[in-house]
Amino acid sequence: MSTMIGHPLDRTDGLLKVTGEARYAAEFPEARLAHGVLVTSTIAKGSIASIDTSRASTLPGVLLVMTYQNAPRLPNGGRPALAPPAGRHLSLLQDNEIHYSNEPIAIVVADTLEHATDAARQLRITYAAQPPALDFTQAKSGAHAPDKPQGRQTDTSRGDYDAGLAAGVVRVDAVYTTPMEHHNPMEPHATMAVWDGPQLTLYDSTQGVTGTRTAVAKTLGMSPDDVRVISPFVGGGFGCKGSAWSHVVLCAMAAKQTGRPVRLALERPQMFGPVGGRPYTEQRLVIAAKRDGTLTAMRHDSFSNTSMIEDWTETCCMVTRMMYAVPNQVTTHRLVQLNVGTPTFMRAPGETTGSWALETAMDELSYELKMDPLALRLKNYAESDPQENKPWSSKALRQCYSVGAERFGWSRRTPQPRSMRDGNTLIGLGMGTATYPANRSEAAALARILPDGTAMVVSGTQDLGTGTYTVMTQVASDALGIAPENIRFGLGDSSLPKAPVSGGSQSVASVSPAVRDACDQVRGKLVAMALADHGSPVFGIAPDDVTVQNGWVMSRSDASTRDPIAAVLARAGGQPIEASISTKPGDEKQRYSFHSWGAVFAEVHVDADLGTIRVAKITGVYNVGRMLNVKTARSQLMGGLVWGIGAALEEGTVLDAQYGRFINANLAEYHVPANADVGTLDVVVLDEPDPFINSLGSRGIGEIGITGVVAAIGNAVYHASGVRVRDLPVTLDKVAMG
């Protein structure tokens, strides 16, 4: 029925990007633009004793040096109770306290970036430092239970854990740790603030134009109607741009104070601390099973760090709660406070770290049982959600496992560690299960057919480089009967119909039904106009015989009876027609449990002497709802797998235990995979529509790609080398020394 849905259409914004025409937040031209530079703390705890701005203020071109001494006082100390996320504590120069190293303590504005940078270096700051809490193990004794992390239950318990433990004859009991990580999108955070009387326009690199508008308005005590956020292109977000951080508000404050538009782009080292990151996690897994592999009990206790000023929890136990049909289970989350910046959502927050621990522990169990790791998963396959006691909306994980095993050649695996070898190269095969919730929120869209027969469709959603422009153009094209090249899709502007944050992998599931419904409605108006129009060739034909295809209103049964869209509108006076729709989920979440699924298989090559690890091949097979575009979908999943290689083998931010600075706060020493680190990626998507999520059956696929793969790589390293590394990243020293 549909022609465009699923089609591997090239990115509609591709040409703009490769020609440099796509404008990112820091690239908008503005007359009288001034440049801001952020100054950050060099201690992790204490207060500013003195801050001498006298020299900096008199340097050439300097327009403003804003510190806690002269910053305008904000309502409620800059902490409105309702600014999202709830309880957000921004550093807005309202007092002299320091809670972490690299915390914003001043903003300097000048006529040029060079002048601002120079003046920022001339600030003379002294501190009253106190000993910071930086040792996780030490601070763990004071851990506390967070209140409803990400709206989920902090702890869960089902069945009788102790009885289940006693019923098992084989047991795994192990502790897994993951390091702090930072998002490092190619485009650093950047904001440009422009005031026009009481009205503020922000060009901001954000995953949520509406959320940023609300947060900034509430923090500054303004009406959201007076704030507009524009973000047509984002150079990667991955969660750090999912909420507005201090620099966004500081930029607006600086623009107000100077009476000039101000641009503030973070320097790469400033991406480590003030804008979130993945926290350190320490997870204990206990799994008990019968001799045949049937799970009898499972326990998952997760500790992760937060800052001193906010509770933010890496929800590591979410996957454990729903993945396997284990009757007796306990899960807990606890928070450890450190003098570091508040952590935040980082691609599949909780699912990445949690699925690594769970799927590693399952692998360990498979060796204890002398059972194939895949067979162990199938033995405990959850036919329904074991925690929520609901049927799945749709689950084709079994098919993911079987297709993946076949493509990957899982059957060539010999069970013993170190049993596969090619000369001095140890070959290892490992697998892991991928999953991520299939989320959907309320979203609105507007569709307008223009007098020339083209269409403009808009929604206040975002494109983080993921393909939103492209797939929404396809959905619109399909519903309107207008070719994609004749449709302009607009997004990234808070003045457009409201859509949710592009986080939680929800944009496709939320926005595509709104786009489709708005387009359906306006096409209905167009058809009604044509049918009632005596001048139209389609006048009077049966309504169910009418279709719109490739820009023509036409008869289905007789393709020669047709009328160009532009002609229909011209005869009616040449005015555009439009429809605006808001869509939201119904009660399906009460009835079904919504998740996406995948099976990941990895082959690694480990040097027998040196422990160097190479990922030779990864096969990932995914069940992520109906494909809107197989090309952008595969690209996104490949990106997730590359992230997984990074998390498994390379990434980790190193915290200086004395000063609380991140030692590798740059792209030379914060290692992410380069092309040479990525072997063959074989990504397959099962085109299985989810019958309950929305009218298209389409789910988001932003985050599932990084889940499961980290464990698959670690498990392959164990199979190759016989060394089980329980502390990420799995590096050669740990393997060679193991």
Q: List interacting residues with ligand MOS (CB under 6 A).
A: 207, 237-239, 242, 345-347, 349, 503-504, 703
Question: Dihedral, CA atoms, 549, 552, 558, 560, nearest 10 degrees?
Answer: -130
For ligand MOS, the closer CB: 161 or 272: 272
- The helix (H) or strand (E) run that includes residue 47 is strand 46-52
For ligand MOS, the closer CB: 312 or 601: 312
Taking the complex as a whole, how short is the minimal distance between the CB of residue 482 and ligand MOS, in angstroms?
Answer: 32
Nearest residue to 693 via CA among 563, 506, 533: 506
- The helix (H) or strand (E) run that includes residue 473 is helix 468-480
Q: Do 425 and 605 touch, CB atoms closer than 8 A?
A: yes
In DSSP terms, 583 is beta-bridged to 443
For ligand MOS, the closer CB: 67 or 207: 207
For ligand MOS, the closer CB: 103 or 703: 703
> Got the DSSP string for 331-356?
EEEEEEE-SSPPP---SSTTHHHHHH
Taking the complex as a whole, how short is the minimal distance between the CB of residue 240 and ligand MOS, in angstroms?
Answer: 8
Taking the complex as a whole, how short is the minimal distance between the CB of residue 189 and ligand MOS, in angstroms?
Answer: 14
Q: From start to end of 565-691, where are the E strands?
A: 577-583, 595-607, 613-623, 680-686
Query: What is the spatial distance between Cα 266 and Cα 171, in angstroms, rounded to a whole number?
Result: 48
Which residue is associated with the tokens 């621990």?
Answer: 357
For ligand MOS, the closer CB: 439 or 494: 439
For ligand MOS, the closer CB: 231 or 380: 231
Residues 6 or more apart whose CB falls under 8 angstroms from that of 560 comprise: none
- Here the tokens at position 375 are 């067979």
- Here the tokens at position 318 are 């979410």
Taking the complex as a whole, how short is the minimal distance between the CB of residue 312 and ligand MOS, in angstroms?
Answer: 12
Query: What is the spatial distance between Cα 72 and Cα 340, in angstroms, rounded to a whole number?
Result: 26
Taking the complex as a whole, how short is the minimal distance between the CB of residue 664 and ligand MOS, in angstroms?
Answer: 22
Q: Do 396 and 686 touch, CB atoms closer than 8 A?
A: yes
For ligand MOS, the closer CB: 504 or 697: 504
Taking the complex as a whole, how short is the minimal distance between the CB of residue 236 and ligand MOS, in angstroms?
Answer: 10
For ligand MOS, the closer CB: 351 or 493: 351
For ligand MOS, the closer CB: 517 or 703: 703
Taking the complex as a whole, how short is the minimal distance between the CB of residue 279 and ligand MOS, in angstroms?
Answer: 13
Q: Do 581 and 517 touch, CB atoms closer than 8 A?
A: yes
End-to-end CA distance of the chain: 57
Q: Do 115 and 60 touch, CB atoms closer than 8 A?
A: yes
Q: Do 192 and 220 touch, CB atoms closer than 8 A?
A: no
- Here the tokens at position 339 are 């003098």
For ligand MOS, the closer CB: 299 or 347: 347
Taking the complex as a whole, how short is the minimal distance between the CB of residue 506 and ligand MOS, in angstroms?
Answer: 8
- Here the tokens at position 203 are 């060009």
- Here the tokens at position 198 are 């009481």
Taking the complex as a whole, how short is the minimal distance between the CB of residue 346 and ligand MOS, in angstroms?
Answer: 5
- Here the tokens at position 72 are 């305008």
**Secondary structure in 3-state letters for 2-17:** CCCCECCCCCCCHHHH
Amino acid at position 30, single letter: E
For ligand MOS, the closer CB: 237 or 705: 237
Amino acid at position 588, single letter: E
Q: Do 428 and 730 touch, CB atoms closer than 8 A?
A: no
**How many CA atoms does the CB half-sphere of 353 hold within 13 Å?**
34
Taking the complex as a whole, how short is the minimal distance between the CB of residue 354 and ligand MOS, in angstroms?
Answer: 14
Query: What is the spatial distance between Cα 103 and Cα 426, in angstroms, rounded to a whole number?
Result: 46
- At 386 the three-state DSSP class reads coil
Taking the complex as a whole, how short is the minimal distance between the CB of residue 501 and ligand MOS, in angstroms?
Answer: 8
Taking the complex as a whole, how short is the minimal distance between the CB of residue 464 and ligand MOS, in angstroms?
Answer: 8
Residue number of the CB atom closest to ligand MOS: 239
- Cis peptide before 500, with omega less than 30 degrees from 0? no
Residues 6 or more apart whose CB falls under 8 angstroms from that of 698 comprise: 508, 509, 512, 625, 626, 627, 628, 689, 690
Query: What is the spatial distance between Cα 468 and Cα 477, in angstroms, rounded to a whole number?
Result: 14
- Here the tokens at position 42 are 């060099």
Nearest residue to 705 via CA among 617, 642, 629: 642
Strands 329-337 and 156-158: antiparallel
For ligand MOS, the closer CB: 347 or 726: 347
CA-to-CA dists, residue 486 to 12, 74, 433, 477, 681, angstroms: 11, 47, 41, 9, 34
Backbone angles phi, psi at 265, to 5 degrees: -115, 135
Task: Check if 703 is active-site.
Answer: yes
Q: Which residues are known to be catalytic?
A: 703
